[in-house]
Amino acid sequence: MDGVKTLSRPIAFWVGFFNMLACLVLIGASYWGLQSISKTVLPLAQNTPGVPEIERLARWTGDALQWFWPALAPAAVLFFLVLTLLTWLVLRSRVKKRLPSPTTARPRAAKPSAASKAEDTRQTLEMNQRIFLHLIATLQKEGRLLDFFSEDLAQYDDGQIGAAVRNIHENCKKTIHKYLAPQAVVDREEGEEISVDKDFDANELKLVGNVTGHPPFKGIVRHRGWRTRKIDLPTLSGQQDPGIIAPAEIEII
């Protein structure tokens, strides 16, 4: 248990760091894309009045830009925070399974030598590195996430960046659904009324607003929440170099 606690903080830090980095990239690229669309569509709507499709697109773009920072950006941040929590729980459970149980009966052995302690420390650090890189390696393999981060975006226009982010978002989304299969905690749409029973699960429902007295309560769904239907991450190999996230690919000619 002490080993799990020791690794929990660094795991949470690195998972949160990379998730927030991905979140900032997604928010920035989305905002640039909306601005680019708006700059193109608004002049068309003014110069060609009476075209329903252009007018609807102009209104949609305007509404999206108006609510981007008050609603869309916070929703993206909240999604990545929940993703960070789920990823941390998954990795923590895998570390817990791999570490020896303190209740396991062990034969009495001689006091380990300094060389044995050094080897154990080295193996622990190596496993620690693999755990940190495991999620990133999965997202790189399925969604080419690190390839995108390594690109110099200054040489591309907003439209090209938006197209790249859309492809990465789609692939990473498929990866998350493939290994975690997230689903909403409540089956109501945001903005709908909902009843909170007396014996509600505080892990599933977070009450905000005018929370006074005792349940049952009447409320409005502000966020549907997320839970996993399964946890099926790829097997963490102990044979690979812990510093290799994704091997280079060489085509033999």
Q: Where do runs of H (alpha helix) occur along 111-153?
A: 114-143, 145-149
Asked whether residue 12 carries a pLDDT value surpassing 80, the answer given is no
Distance CA 186, CA 177 (A): 18
Residues 141 and 168 placed together within one structural domain of the fold:
yes
The whole-number average pLDDT for the span 178-192 is 86
Whether 168 and 210 share a structural domain:
no
Q: Region 91-110: what's the mean pLDDT?
A: 64
Report pLDDT for 220.
93
Residues 49, 165: one domain?
A: yes
Q: What is the mean pLDDT of residues 19-25?
A: 81
Verify that 151 and 77 share a domain, yes or no.
Answer: yes
* Residue where one domain finishes, among candidates 180, 198, 219: 180
pLDDT higher than 50, residue 105: no
Per the CB < 8 A criterion, the answer to whether 85 and 231 are in contact is no
* Partners of 194 in the β-ladder: 219
Instruction: Please state, in angstroms and rounded to a whole number, the distance separating the CA atoms of residues 42 and 135.
Output: 42
In a domain, 107, yes or no: no
Do residues 97 and 174 both lie within one domain?
A: yes
Q: 79 pLDDT band (50/70/90 cuts)?
A: confident
b (16+ CB within 10 A) / e for 46-71: eeeeeeeebeebbeebeebeeebeee
Q: Could you tell me if 29 and 95 lie in one domain?
A: yes
**Which residues constitute the domain of residue 144?**
2-101+118-180
Most confident among 103-117, 138-152, 190-204 (mean pLDDT): 190-204
The identity of residue 171, as a single letter, is N
Q: Which of 82-86, 156-160, 184-188 has the highest mean pLDDT?
A: 184-188
Kindly state whether residues 29 and 128 are assigned to the same domain. Answer: yes
Q: How far apart are CA 146 and CA 132, in angstroms?
A: 14
Confidence of residue 192 (pLDDT cuts 50, 70, 90): very high
94 in the same domain as 173? yes
Q: How far apart are CA 253 and CA 245, in angstroms?
A: 25
Q: Is the residue at 83 inside a domain?
A: yes
Residue 47 resides in a domain: yes
Looking at the structure, tell me whether residues 125 and 226 fall in a common domain. Answer: no
Residue 110 lies in a domain: no
Residue 87 lies in a domain: yes
In a domain, 199, yes or no: yes
Domain tally, the chain:
2
| Same domain, yes or no: 61 and 73 | yes
Residue 242 located in a structural domain: no
Tokens of 225: 């929440």
Q: Is the peptide bond before 43 cis (omega within 30 degrees of 0)?
A: no
Mean pLDDT value across residues 227-246: 69
Whether residues 125 and 220 fall in one domain: no
Model-level pTM?
Answer: 0.38
Residue with the bigger pLDDT between 32 and 199: it is 199
Question: Contact, 92 vs 205, CB < 8 A?
Answer: no
* 34, part of any domain: yes
Give me the residue label for tokens 């607003």: 209
Element (H, E) at 217: strand 217-220
Same domain, 62 and 82: yes
Ramachandran area for residue 221 (φ above 0: left; ψ -120 to 50: alpha; else beta): beta
